[in-house]
Amino acid sequence: MSNTMQCRDKNTNILVILLLLCMYFQVFEKMEVSPGKFTEEYADTCNKRRETQRTRQAMPSAKRRRNVLKKEKGILQGAQEALGGDEYESGM
């Protein structure tokens, strides 16, 4: 699995967890029950992780790295297509 796929899967998992936590908090509010110490701590941890990830990805060095990886992927794909011939050409 490529590095970008792993990041995408990890981000999707984090989003699912955050959505579940939001749903739990809504249920807790309707039932007028406190969510509990550990649930609040976990939500805070997820929020902090998401904020650090967001700031790190907004840095110019991270953007530069993404562009370099995108170019390398294109070069590698072109080389593989040249070796594979016409039958494995992308975009067909």
66, 30 contact by CB (below 8 A):
no
Give the pLDDT of the chain (92 residues) as one tens digit per residue. Answer: 555 555 666 667 777 777 777 777 777 777 776 767 887 888 889 889 989 989 998 999 999 999 999 999 989 888 887 777 666 556 66
How far is residue 57's CA from residue 67's CA, in Å, rounded to a whole number?
12
Q: Which amino acid is at 25?
A: F
| CA-to-CA dists, residue 32 to 42, 62, 87, angstroms | 20, 43, 62
The model's pTM: 0.46
Residues in the chain: 92
CB proximity list for 72: less than 8 A, separation 6 or greater = none
Domain assignments of the chain as residue spans, ordered by start? 1-58, 60-92
